[in-house]
Structure 1
Amino acid sequence: MPTAAARRAYRGPALFSFGFRPFFLFGAAWSALVVPLWVWSFLAGGPGALSRDWHVHEMLFGFLAAVVAGFLTTAVPNWTGRMPVIGAPLGGLVALWTAGRLAMLFEAELGPVAAAVDSAFLIAFAAVVWREVLAGRNWRNLAVCVLVSLLALANVAFHLGAALWDDGAGERLALGAACVLIALIGGRITPSFTRNWMKVRRMEPQPALPGRLDQAALGLTGLGAALWAVLPLSPATGAALALAGAANLIRLVRWRGWATRSEPLVWILHVGYAWLGVGLAFLGAAVLLPDLVPRTAGVHALTAGAVGVMTLAVMTRASRGHTGRDLAADASTTLIYLAVNLAAVLRLAAPFAGLLQPDLLMASAAAWTAAFGGFAVAYGRMLVRPRPAAA
């Protein structure tokens, strides 16, 4: 059955009619909880279970994995024309993700069982993506399959590292895969959506078409991410990351994002991609000039900035488009965008703030929770209800 026909034939709960619905909603709600819980634990001596490792793990393999799953379970059927993962199979994936979150909360009591339960979701999800892309002969997106597999591998490495050697390799591999995903997918949708928006308004010149610069930016991003995963302190790694940051910022300028300043639903994609370039540059500077630039500045420019902003950009646009709403940001959406960027700026500034660092951490956490909690509240109703009949 073709993708569109399969969706029309579905008669179950609206929440499980598209992959983006449960994964965006639950991922955003979980993210809105994880950050303040971690800051409370860090600043006020909360429970030992809420350690830094738990915070890092849940942001990368809980929140980010949910958003990636929501996007790909919605996009892959459109890429391949095959049956979408909806209904009971989608519910099974959501249950695996939820089990992982509970397992990590009780990791101290469950021991190695928690790692096994948590790892199951990304392994199963990677298998689903590989199956659909290969069966649909969608060779263009084999790179997406590889990146999802690397995210699953990074999760396993994170658990093994915590138990055996604890060098952060799993964390670096996951963040590197996320950066390449943003460069790859963000590099497709940002100029494409910008071009479509400008065409309707007959605006010229339009974003530059893909070319060698785009390929170079992707290649440098992949190289920098790979080197950082295995050689995090090497000057070659710092140079590759800095070059990747510069290449992505040059790439971004060619997409003419300033022309979309009147529509937040479009310019937020450019802001999210800008954070990728800035984050890679900061991370490279932290490797080359560790006495001047803290490593956490680069890491959080990528996590709170690139990942946080780009995920919300994709979540809001996909949610509005697939539920029949106008592709225009309302007031609540614009406030969400402002909040997540404020959270990123404050988190980037915190390592440089000296005695003010705790205050900036709390303010950043509050802004992050406002952004993702705000998404869950503002978009929750459209995510759990059927698409309006007239849409």
Structure 2
Amino acid sequence: MTSPSWRQLGAAPHRLMFFLGAFQAAGVMLWWLGDLLGRYTQAYAAPSWTIPAAWAHAFLMIYGFFPFFIFGFLMTTFPNWLNGRPVTRWSYLPASILMAGGMLLFYAGLVIDKLLLLVGVLLFLAGWGIGLLALLAILRQSQHPDKQHSRVTIAGLFMGWLGACAYGLWLFTGAIQFLNFSRIAGIWFFLLPIFLTVSHRMIPFFSSRVLTAYVIYRPDWILPAMLACATGHGLLELLGLDAWRGFFDLPFLALAAWLSYRWDLLRSFQVRLLAVLHIAFFWLAIALAFYSFQDVALLFDHAGDFTLGFAPLHALGIGFFAAMMLAMASRVTLGHSGRPLAADALTWTLFLGLQAAAVLRILPDIGLSIAPGLIYPLAASVWLFSIVSWIWKYGLIYWQPRVDGKSG
């Protein structure tokens, strides 16, 4: 086998983007675990950062690593979806380098000076902008009759860019409304539309390739309906009308659960690499069930005694977003390296580890943990172990040529 090389790492957009994203997924949790251990144990004094740790955590978890995986995936699939030209190195290499450099400055800014945080966000935005323009060029040049999924993901990336911009404006001005917009837009206008759209496009397709007599269920109306629910939830949250989000979350829950049923969640367990996608998608219904309970509780209990804390958010963020990210990245990595499309025991185990991290983080907020101060670091540790195991399993693949001798 040819020895690993930098040339191979930059041979295709998913290689470099996934590689950087995986290390970021580990890095953001390593930083957060260090903060949690200082706050909830007697190991050492809680670290002092240049901004509140919770708001640094919010930015890193929403914008710190997901965009790398999203760009890596979309830069690989857009040419296929739209019959367009491949993304050139002159687009994905600068985008990758600027985004990674921005994240490194962000970490430095947490320790040294707040100004470095702002510079890091600006560099990150520059790289994001280059990647977004590259995808937009493919979309505009394409004559493909079906652009629904591509348009939604482009819109989601633009909203994510605006959300990261808002975070930079908060760093510069201190105005809390920018911080709130960054957090809400990042979840409901950026990550959720993109993960929902990719799931809608790819899960039925992948299922049809491996399950016998499988009928693809992908009605034209269901994706716009779910996107409208996500947008409505986000807008109500921006307006501070959380108690009324149920008017969007309840139908959203029904649609998500219906799709899991129609996409044949139970039969997906015949093939582990397919099951991980279906399991991750089912977490959307779980998260929306938590949100719906929270909405109804807020509507009738203004004191907020039964709001489930951050359980809905972590069911969505870890259970759906992170698990789907890992599942999709695993499949793309195997398929685009010429390897068999099969999840071995390690891949399955580390995916289950991420499910365990989601459950552990949710337990204290639903009243099923007697020691949340220990559960929080434990959940972070399980996440970190799962991601590091994934890097150990898949990281070296990005440095090596395809095993089938093809380019890419």
**Above 0.5 in TM-score?**
yes
**Corresponding position: 1:260 with 2:261:** no
Whole-angstrom distance in 1 between the partners of 2:222 and 2:78: 23
**Partner SS, residue 65 of structure 2:** helix
Are residues 1:320 and 2:334 paired? Answer: yes
Q: Which is worse superposed, 342-351 or 308-317? A: 342-351
Shift of 1:69: 0.8
Q: Counterpart of 2:174?
A: 164
- Against the structure 1 CA distance between its residues 220 and 89, is the aligned structure 2 distance closer, same or farther, given a 3 Å change threshold? closer
Question: Could you say which residue in structure 2 is the equivalent of 1:6?
Answer: none
Shift of 1:250: 1.3
Q: Shift in Å at residue 360 of structure 1?
A: 1.4
Aligned to 1:40: 34
Q: Is the 8 A contact 1:173 1:225 kept in 2?
A: no
Q: Tell me the CA shift for residue 246 of structure 1.
A: 2.5
Deviation at 1:335, TM superposition (A): 1.2
Give the residue type in structure 1 aligned to 2:162: L
Summarize the alignment of residues 270-285 of structure 1 with structure 2, pairs less than 5 Å apart: 270-285=278-293
Q: Measure, in 2, the Cα distance between the counterparts of 1:124 and 1:182.
A: 21
Q: Tell me the distance in 2 between the aligned counterparts of 1:293 and 1:207.
A: 39
CA–CA distance in structure 2, aligned partners of residues 228 and 355 of structure 1: 33
Find the counterpart in structure 2 of residue 110 from structure 1: 115
Of residues 172, 185, 197, the one that matches 2:210 is: 197
Asked whether 1:362 is paired with 2:372, we answer no
Question: What residue identity is the alignment partner of 2:339?
Answer: R
Q: List runs of 5+ in structure 1 lacking aligned partners.
A: 1-10
Q: Within the alignment, does 1:173 sit opposite 2:185 as a pair? A: yes
Q: CA deviation at 1:216?
A: 6.1
Secondary structure of the structure 1 residue equivalent to 2:176: coil
Q: Normalising by the residue count of structure 1, what TM-score does the alignment of the two structures yield?
A: 0.89
SS in structure 2 at match of 1:13: helix
The one-letter amino acid paired with 1:286 is Q
TM alignment of 1:22-171, pairs within 5 A: 22-44=16-38, 45-49=46-50, 51-107=53-109, 108-111=113-116, 112-138=118-144, 139-140=147-148, 141-162=150-171, 163-167=173-177, 168-171=180-183
Q: Do the aligned partners of residues 322 and 338 (structure 1) sit closer, same or farther apart at CA in structure 2, a change above 3 Å counting?
A: same
Query: What whole-Å deviation, never above 9, does each CA across 1:363-391 have from its counterpart, x for those lacking one?
Result: 21111112211111100121110101457
Does structure 2 retain, via aligned residues, the 8 Å contact 1:280–1:298?
yes
| TM-fit CA distance, 1:217 | 4.6
The answer to which of 280-289 and 174-183 deviates more is 280-289
Instruction: Give the whole-Å Cα distance in 2 for the aligned partners of 1:61 and 1:42.
Output: 20
CA distance in 1, matches of 2:115, 2:124: 11
Q: Is the 8 A contact 1:39 1:362 kept in 2?
A: yes
Deviates more, 1:167-176 or 1:157-166: 157-166
Alignment partner of 2:339: what SS?
coil
Report what 2:195 is aligned to: 182
1: CA distance, partners of 2:130 / 2:254 = 36
Could you tell me which of 14, 17, 21 is aligned with 2:15? 21
Contact residue 216 and residue 247 of structure 1 kept, 8 A: no
- The Cα shift of 1:333 comes to 0.8
Partners of 1:24 and 1:315 within 8 A in 2: yes
The total of aligned residue pairs comes to 376
Q: Is 1:230 paired with 2:230?
A: no
- Aligned-residue CA RMSD (Å): 2.3
TM-score (norm 2): 0.85
* Structure 2 CA distance for aligned equivalents of residues 261 and 355 of structure 1: 33
Q: Is the 8 A contact 1:268 1:337 kept in 2?
A: yes
Q: Aligned pair in 2 of structure 1 residues 282, 51: CA closer, same or farther (>3 Å)?
A: same
Q: CA deviation at 1:232?
A: 4.3
SS in 2 for 1:256: coil
| Secondary structure in 2 matching 1:106 | helix
